């Protein structure tokens, strides 16, 4: 698939505007799919879907003081990186 995946998370919170936002264990997820990019089934893991929150926004939210603790899935993070960069990381940055 192309584009940016959305977010699935184990819990949620509401920002100042009342928008439901992800918190807890956060995974990358393609809408209309039943599992995350790392292969975790959404229903069995009881992950809530956040189609209005893009994965890149969750990565950005992770560093702000306003957001509650977010644990980004390392396997989902790796799956969203471009292939050339993943290969360079595996080879030690060459």
Instruction: State the first-to-last Cα distance of the chain, in angstroms, to the nearest integer.
Output: 28
Q: How far apart are CA 65 and CA 70, in angstroms?
A: 11
Q: What is the largest CA-CA distance in the chain?
A: 46
Per-residue CA distances from 32 to 9, 53, 74, 76, 83 (Å): 16, 15, 22, 17, 24
pTM score, two decimals?
Answer: 0.78
Q: How far apart are CA 41 and CA 15, in angstroms?
A: 27
Q: What is the pLDDT of residues 40-50, one digit of tens each?
A: 999 999 999 99
User: Distance of alpha carbon 9 from its chain centroid, rounded?
Assistant: 8
Q: What is the pLDDT of residues 26-78, one digit of tens each?
A: 999 999 999 999 999 999 999 999 999 999 888 776 656 566 767 899 999 99
């Amino acid at each position: 698939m192309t584009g940016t995946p959305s977010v699935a998370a184990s819990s949620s919170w509401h920002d100042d505007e009342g928008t439901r936002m992800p918190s807890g264990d956060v995974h990358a997820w393609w809408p209309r799919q039943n599992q995350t990019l790392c292969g975790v089934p959404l229903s069995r893991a009881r992950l809530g879907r956040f189609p209005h929150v893009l994965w890149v926004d969750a990565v950005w939210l992770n560093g702000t003081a306003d957001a509650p603790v977010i644990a980004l899935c390392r396997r989902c993070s790796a799956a969203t990186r471009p292939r050339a960069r993943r290969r360079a990381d595996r080879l030690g940055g060459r």
